Amino acid sequence: MALLVNPWEALMGWLARMDPSRREIFLASLALLVLFAIGTTGYALLEGWSVMDGLYMTFITLSTIGFQEIHTLSDAGRLFTLGLGITGIGLLTFVVARSAQLLLASERLRERQNMKQINELSDHYIICGYGRVGQRLAEDLMAADKPFVVVDISDEEIADLRDKEHLYVQGNAEEEEILKQAGLDRARCLILTLPEDSSNVFVALTAREMNPDLFILARTVDHDNRSKLLHAGADKVIAPSEVGADRMAQVVLRPNVDDFMERVLHANALSLQIDEVEVHPSAPLAGQSLAESNFRQQFDAVVIGIIDAETGNITFNPTPSARIEAGDILIVLGDSEVIHALREKVCTP
């Protein structure tokens, strides 16, 4: 007896823990399956049909397809069909309607969770435009474990963002409200990769007015529009076509140098990367020279440049006597774990 009671109790407990909407759909679907079995059996008993004929007749009745009867029905068979249709069509309509409601509720819940996560972000990146450039940027930011939000108006691109579980805001990036939803006032950087330069100019103007301290990086299709983007508020403008042309020239003219840089920048064979590390006030490294810190031997990394905190001047290949002051930015070549340790333990108080 216990063997019969325990599975039943387990089923009741599972149903009790289920979401009410899902429980309704599950029970209605179960009832629909039972109704299919009753219909198939009923036609077999009342009309003497085969199981396949009974199942097919039950299906076309419940689905309201409206094909003609397989065989001529008796009065009892017609009454049975009438009851089967009234019961089954109503049940099927309920299952479809509740499933649609549950799907809609799930979409709304996903949207609320998406916006909640965005509202909790700060010091994040905003990518306007999820084309080929925007997608590559999102991949790189994801690989670097940097928080970001994508703004795009296309349903297709938004669906792709949902599938990849990226944070997003659907809408026109030229509208202030959309930029507010993306957390522009709390963002670290705005990256403009919209297909039209005119749109990038307008968004740069709007964003600069909304957040004067924001760093704005813009893409331009036409080199002649670079100055317009800079005047609109962009801090840096990049033309991908020019970058591609420069890279191709580098491969042709200096193939070995290009191969070395590719290995370093993409951390392929050497497992190295070039990164920047800011020296915060009261950090252990602040006030020391490279020689005093024994940087190369202690951290197994190379300082290839120092950006002065006051003047912004860059010192390439600094000498051992070069001093590291608070606020300076070190351009470092080394293993990713070493650079992380520098950032967290040596250059931070």
207-244 pLDDT per residue, tens: 999 999 999 999 998 888 989 999 999 999 988 877 77
Question: Quick one: pLDDT at residue 66?
Answer: 63
User: Residue 203: helix, strand or coil by DSSP?
Assistant: helix
Task: Give this prediction's pTM.
Answer: 0.62
pLDDT at 163 over 60: yes
**Confidence category of residue 168, pLDDT binned at 50, 70, 90:** very high
> How would you classify residue 91: left for phi > 0, otherwise alpha for psi between -120 and 50, otherwise beta?
alpha
For range 89-109, the mean pLDDT? 73
pLDDT in tens, 290-316: 888 888 888 888 888 899 988 888 888
CA 237 centroid distance within chain: 25
pLDDT at 268 over 50: no
Tokens representing residue 13 in the block = 């407990």
8 A C-beta contact, residue 238 and residue 249: no
Question: Quick one: pLDDT at residue 11?
Answer: 61
Q: What angle do CA 223, 224, 227 make, to 5 degrees?
A: 100
Question: Quick one: pLDDT at residue 252?
Answer: 83
pLDDT at 318 over 60: yes
CA 286 centroid distance within chain: 38
pLDDT at 262 over 60: yes
Calculate the average pLDDT of the chain: 83
